Amino acid sequence: MPDTNITIYNREGSVFSDLEVVKLASGFQFTEGPVWHPDGFLLFSDIPANKIYQLNSGGNVTEYLDPSGFSGEDASLLSDMIGSNGLAINSNQHLIICQHGDHALAALDPEKKMYLLTDKYENRPYNSPNDLAISADGSIYFTDPPYGLKDQILHPSIFQSSAGIYRYYNGEIRLLRKDLRYPNGICFSPGEEFLYSGSNHPDEAFIWKYTLVNGNIKDQSVLVEQNADGIKTDEKGRVYLATDAGIMIISPNGKRLALIPLPECPSNLAWREGKNTELYVTARSSVYRIKNFI
């Protein structure tokens, strides 16, 4: 049934007036990093539980990977957010995993064999890779805030001295930006002309819009003054933000279009592959589906 609580900011936003919000699963500690698998199911992280779960179309949830983000024994330098966070599927159907506790970007092949992509920059471990986006050429762009570290602050004597945005490509790693102290969600515009990233920290209430040229950032501007956790775009270039108030939808030029409230605070979101009418949302203890986008 239509969600009558959707806030429409202007006429362009009226296309969201008949959305349907359904809770699909619940009972988790802190859900994050949803991604639609080409084989027809959703994967998502439960960060404190150190697990990745599989949600089938019928609503059944099964354990997919344990441990997912921390394989060690000494967690004294970590927060309670030790497990995997952001997830993505590359062109080889490998699951690319942001691992907090192992300070790494890793890949899981279709036979569930894990291998390391990168866990250091300039011979120092990452903080806690948070979210990622994979470009058409296979480059992996990821954010590295300190949410997985003790007290959720930087520890520059051991880990990175800044919270960066990185590009991993063909075994090489490059630090692209360190504008934010808590960089979080990251995604591309439909044609990959722009890269978006933001922060959910109250002192950094804006979404950056970076211009990409040959894999590098050439200039930047503020798309909108707004905190957000995970972010995604649709085929029309609209930007979807997981905010404390719900899913906020922003036009490509930064206008607020609509706000979709949820019973729980959303953390991240993912489109169903090949079907940009269904959006899956991780929100604290639960996973939701929002349907009927046009």
- What integer best gives the mean pLDDT of the chain? 95
Does 204 score more than 80 pLDDT? yes
Mean pLDDT (whole number) for 176-195: 96
Q: What confidence category does residue 275 fall into, taking pLDDT thresholds of 50, 70 and 90? A: low
Q: Are 40 and 92 in contact (CB under 8 A)?
A: no
Q: Which residues contact 285 (CB under 8 A, 6 or more apart)?
A: 26, 27, 28, 29, 30, 31, 264
CA 86, 106, 171, 103 torsion: positive or negative? positive
Does 92 score more than 60 pLDDT? yes
Give the pLDDT score at 5. Answer: 77
Structural domain spans, the chain: 7-291
Give the pLDDT score at 292. Answer: 84
Q: Which residues contact 291 (CB under 8 A, 6 or more apart)?
A: 19, 20, 22, 277, 278, 279
In terms of CATH, what superfamily is 7-291?
TolB, C-terminal domain (2.120.10.30)
Strands 132-134 vs 95-99: parallel, antiparallel or unpaired: unpaired
Q: What confidence category does residue 13 fall into, taking pLDDT thresholds of 50, 70 and 90? A: confident
Q: What is the pLDDT of residues 25-47, one digit of tens each?
A: 999 999 999 999 999 999 999 99
Does 98 score more than 70 pLDDT? yes
Rg for the chain, CA atoms, rounded: 18
Give the pLDDT score at 2. Answer: 42
Give the pLDDT score at 10. Answer: 82
Does 194 score more than 50 pLDDT? yes
Mean pLDDT (whole number) for 237-257: 96
Mean pLDDT (whole number) for 112-129: 98
pTM for the model: 0.96
Calculate the alpha carbon distances from 177 to 66, 141, 181, 196, 206 in Å.
32, 11, 11, 12, 15
Q: What confidence category does residue 1 fall into, taking pLDDT thresholds of 50, 70 and 90? A: very low
Lowest mean pLDDT among 5-9, 73-77, 157-161: 5-9
Give the pLDDT score at 293. Answer: 84
List, as own/partner pairs, every contact residues 177-180 make where C-beta atoms lie below 8 angstroms and the sequence separation is at least 24, other chains included.
177/208, 177/210, 177/217, 177/220, 179/208, 179/220, 180/145, 180/204, 180/208
